[in-house]
Amino acid sequence: MGGVSTAERDRVPKQDRSRVTRQRLLEAAVACLAERGWAGSTVSVVAERAGVSRGAAQHHFPTREDLFTAAVEYVAEERSTALRALFPAAAGDRRAVVSALVDLYTGPVFRAALHLWVAASSEEQLRSRVTELEARVGRETHRIAVELLGADEARPGVRESVQGLLDMARGLGLANLLTDDRARRERVVSQWAALLDEALG
């Protein structure tokens, strides 16, 4: 007969619960990393914040490195999706694009990623994973920037201009860790938008 078995019915909600638990762990890991840094972010601390057992956390992420690299990657992907969703509402508005890209580097996701970079500089088993993750995130962010800016990278200097924008945005994100520099950031965003209008045509 073509009915659905009890086991199959039970499996779907279990899969949904598992997905929700995983997402809560990832979000809690990013929040902990942003607030407490690497040293203060253990699997137990993250599990408690997510409202799940340590065993459930380790079922999803066997090691601390698995948890935190997955967390930063998850949120980086979420931010990329959110960034794309802002457009085409701002298509053709380079200042809006520059501002949105800068915002990528001034929130808790960037702060969490920065703690992960610092940890990776002294944690050998974390370094290769973080390096690979950052390369992938960097390529994706560059692709999104090119698309949103309508940049033609076949033209000389255009690729470097886009990369310079992303490097500048990262620098503003670093400055923002110590002090809220919103007023200066707005002036820099306006200037970069003007420079890009000139460089990209």
Say if CB 30 and CB 72 are below 8 A apart: yes
Angle at the Cα of 99 from the Cα atoms of 148 and 91, rounded to 5 degrees = 30
pLDDT tens, residue order, the chain (201 aa): 445 445 544 555 677 788 899 999 998 998 888 788 888 889 999 999 999 999 999 999 999 889 988 887 887 777 777 667 766 555 668 888 898 888 878 877 788 788 888 888 887 777 888 888 888 888 888 988 888 888 999 999 999 999 999 999 989 888 888 887 788 889 999 999 999 888 887
Say if CB 111 and CB 34 are below 8 A apart: yes
Closest CA to 138 of 60, 72, 88, 64: 72
User: Which DSSP category does 90 fall into?
Assistant: T
